Amino acid sequence: MQRICGHVKTKSGKETTLGGNRAVLFVYATEGLENMAFLANAVSLVTYFYGYMNFSLSKSATTLTNFMGTAFLLALVGGFICDTYLSRFKTCVLFAFFELVGYALLTVQAHFHQLRPIPCGALTDKSKCDAADSSQVAILFIGLYMVALGTGGVKAALPALGADQFDDKDPKEAALLSSFFNWLLFSLTIGSIVGVTVVVWIASNRGWDWGFGICVVALLFALVSVCMGKSLYLNNVPMGSPLVRILQVFVAAIRNRKLPLPETTDELLEIHDKEIGMPDEILERTEQFGFLDRAAIIRRNDDASTGTEQAGPSWSLCTVTQVEETKILIRMLPIILGTVFMNTCLAQLQTFSIQQSTTMNPYIMSFKVPGPSIPVIPLLFMFILIPIYDRLFVPLARKFTGIPTGIRHLQRIGIGLVLSAVSMAVAGVVETRRKSVAVEHNMVDSVEPLPMSVFWLGFQYAIFGAADMFTLIGMMEFFYAESSAGMKSLSTAISWCSVAFGYFTSTVVVEVVNKVSGGWLASNNLNRDKLNYFYWLLSVLSVVNFGVYLVCASWYKYKKVEIKQDGAQGNVEMARA
């Protein structure tokens, strides 16, 4: 099947329209439903661990951050499977099913009290408060990490599946591709708003079994949604393991380390014959990491020296495109590291800030707002800002810069990093105010809510919401656009790895700060802890991190592509799911 300007000709000669905006509607719906379930738990599980599984406050926080970090890290598994074995559509279906099973197991545990300990809050004699036993903890973690595996695979495959519906080599469709990522975030935001309000409210008032049960239903509808678009998708053809191709480059470069680098690219191997199974683009040679170019040096005893060019890449000889694919990945690594710390800050808003909310006045008039629903504030800001950014800012910026995305991906990421530092500074100010209220009213050791509205936390959340709008989608678009044709899913997964490392770093940072500071966060009482100092420390470190990011971004060189021509139209081969 061939894609020609968004159309596909079948063997019978009939022409049908595939891809485009109509196909990605199902991607938007799937993303919204899946994220509704995932984020509802991301912001509230810490209270489930603390209040229902009898974990300590610090263990509740670290259990959540470890779960979240693992979920995003497992996106690498989904990305690898997409590029190597299965299409993105099949990967989405497979991992969404895993996630559904995980939520079902958590629902069963939450429903049957025999599968979890008696909550400490339900006991009059606190000395009889027991921790969860090993079998109860095992059920919890099996369910949690089935969810982590499932959501990781979906997050790797689904954005790439949607992006595949547009041809980024066509200037008109390149603009639509950029807009797709913005509207993907918009659908994610809508799902998140429903998750942190409706789902969290139901879990808080009707029970956790109801909350997890709704997640099961949401995943069922997500599966139905992605399957409904099957006949419209342009889907990738797996090209083999990108990790093997990268390893081949390093091995070949080491084998050829004594050979002198040629002066011209013509003396390096490149294969233009699509029958060899090479990617649909030819990457131009770049000067960075020149030692890897030795992997493409044609030696006298190579078959390619005869001029036949029938030998594919091997462990002793690779193509320039394969070498450049490896260089791209190496260039991306500092960008990933430069964005990790922002996600460390994000982890605090989903752990300590949620715990802050439980100590504050949760009422708006007569309506009680669950603490885990506070993240709806940045989501509402994103709900408003994303259409403004996509429909007003990008077209206006495009007129001045001539760039389809308005500004460069790396510039967009940088703006988000600055806003995250501001958010942490504001969080420190708000926490200082909260503690002073506790002291003024002699409520330092009280379990009653403070006479301070929970919506004071909205300032830090709102600023971080704007930061997330710039950085998260900037990263996804950057890694998808800059990766080679043979590793689009894996590169999209790498963007989620920044989030994963941020959560894992959060666990380490909390432990290190506790030890070095003598226990800023160790008293299990926020009114006595020095959480405000911790937030200010994160703000200072965020500024330092931004400086490192600037160095990495200025060093990065964007890829240059020579489109592989197939006839007069330069068609790109795609296949049905």
Beta-carbon contacts of residue 236 (< 8 Å; ≥ 6 apart): 82, 83, 87, 88, 160, 164, 488, 489, 574, 575
Of 398 and 279, the one with more pLDDT: 398
DSSP 46-97: HHHHHHTS---HHHHHHHHHHHHHHHHHTHHHHHHHHHHTS-HHHHHHHHHH
Per-residue burial over 218-235, b = 16 or more CB atoms within 10 Å of its CB, e = otherwise: bbeebbebbbebeebbbb
pLDDT for residue 100: 95
Q: Is the pLDDT of residue 310 over 90?
A: no
The CATH class that applies to domain 328-562 reads: mainly alpha
pLDDT band at 274 (very low <50, low <70, confident <90, very high): very low
pLDDT for residue 316: 82
Q: Is the pLDDT of residue 339 over 70?
A: yes
pLDDT for residue 534: 93
Domain boundaries, the chain: 1-238, 242-324, 328-562
pLDDT for residue 3: 42
pLDDT for residue 16: 54
Beta-carbon contacts of residue 258 (< 8 Å; ≥ 6 apart): none
Distance of alpha carbon 375 from alpha carbon 354, whole angstroms: 9
The CATH class that applies to domain 1-238 reads: mainly alpha
pLDDT for residue 128: 62
Distance of alpha carbon 252 from alpha carbon 92, whole angstroms: 35
Q: Is the pLDDT of residue 126 over 60?
A: no
Distance of alpha carbon 135 from alpha carbon 118, whole angstroms: 14
Of 504 and 267, the one with more pLDDT: 504
Distance of alpha carbon 129 from alpha carbon 110, whole angstroms: 18
Q: Is the pLDDT of residue 39 over 80?
A: yes
Give me the mean pLDDT over the 563-570 stretch: 43
How many C-beta atoms lie closer than 10 Å to residue 169's C-beta? 13
Q: Which of 306, 285, 308 is nearest to 296 (CA)?
A: 285
What pTM was estimated for this model as a whole? Answer: 0.81
Q: Is the pLDDT of residue 246 over 80?
A: yes
Give me the mean pLDDT over the 315-320 stretch: 84
Label each residue of 216-237 as H, E or C.
HHHHHHHHHHHHHCHHHCCECC
Q: What is the pLDDT of residues 61-103, one digit of tens each?
A: 788 878 888 898 899 898 889 888 888 999 999 999 999 999 9
Q: Which of 558, 562, 73 is nearest to 328 (CA)?
A: 558
Distance of alpha carbon 478 from alpha carbon 481, whole angstroms: 5
Q: Which of 480, 469, 179, 185 is nearest to 332 (CA)?
A: 480
pLDDT band at 426 (very low <50, low <70, confident <90, very high): very high
φ and ψ of 451, to 5 deg: -80, 60
Q: Which two tokens stand for residue 221?
A: 């509808």
Burial class (CB within 10 angstroms; exposed 0-12, middle 13-18, buried 19+) of 202? middle
Task: Please tell me whether residue 307 adopts helix, strand or coil conformation.
Answer: coil
Per-residue burial over 61-71, b = 16 or more CB atoms within 10 Å of its CB, e = otherwise: bbbbbbbbbbb
Distance of alpha carbon 144 from alpha carbon 74, whole angstroms: 13
Give me the mean pLDDT over the 28-34 stretch: 95
How many H helices and E strands in the chain? 18, 10
Q: What is the pLDDT of residues 463-482, one digit of tens each?
A: 998 898 899 888 888 888 88
Of 170-174, 325-329, 486-490, least confident by mean pLDDT is: 170-174
pLDDT band at 11 (very low <50, low <70, confident <90, very high): very low
Distance of alpha carbon 346 from alpha carbon 471, whole angstroms: 12
Distance of alpha carbon 326 from alpha carbon 279, whole angstroms: 14
pLDDT for residue 122: 56
CB 31 within 8 A of CB 163: no
